[in-house]
Amino acid sequence: MLRIPTLVRYGTRALVHIAAAPPGRPVPVREIARAQRLSAKYLERIVGALRSAGLLRAVRGVRGGFVLARPPAAVRLDEVARALGGPPVVAECVDRPETCPRRAACPTRGVWVRIREAVDGVLSSVTLQDLVEEVRARGGAGRGDYVI
């Protein structure tokens, strides 16, 4: 079964929460954790990886937190997935063909490759701005009153 890694799902939710904040307003990890019903400790690990990948900037101080390093329209979900461990694995042979001695004659490998390409296509075509707009179109303010 194709599964999006938990880190990618939670990281995307956190980024959408930050993207929905007024521009330049730092969002504390505790606020995101509370709104998204996530462990603050686990979220700190995710936010650290997103910061290391250059997707977030930390703002220190009493009113500190995190802001996007780029506008939400410039952050694609494939970047988020790469920052948090990569896109979902369809089959090991897709990413590592050397693991399968039957790869040349396998009747299904081509299907798994096409599925991976389709997933990659979706992830590279959706931005954080798209997700914020989707939340707002459904009547949510984009901040804590939704679940992705």
For residue 1, being part of any structural domain is answered with no
Domain that holds residue 129: 6-137
Task: Check: CB of residue 119 under 8 Å from CB of residue 90.
Answer: yes
Question: Which of 7-11, 127-131, 135-139 has the least mean pLDDT?
Answer: 135-139
Calculate mean pLDDT across residues 48-75. Answer: 95
Over residues 120-147, the mean pLDDT reads: 81
> Within a domain: residue 43?
yes
**Residue 18: inside a domain, yes or no?**
yes
Q: Return the number of other C-beta atoms located less than 10 Å from residue 32's C-beta.
A: 27
If you search the block for the tokens 């686990």, which residue do you land on? 42
Cα 51 to Cα 136: distance, rounded to the nearest angstrom: 26
Q: For residue range 10-22, what is the model confidence (pLDDT) as tens digits?
A: 999 999 999 999 9
Distance CA 47, CA 36 (A): 14
Q: How many domains does the chain have?
A: 1
Indicate whether 145 belongs to any domain.
no
Q: Which residues pair with 68 in a beta bridge?
A: 56
**Cα separation, 44 vs 104, whole angstroms:** 43
- What's 86's domain CATH number? 1.10.10.10
pTM of the model: 0.86
Query: Which residue type does 4 have?
Result: I
Q: Is residue 144 part of a domain?
A: no
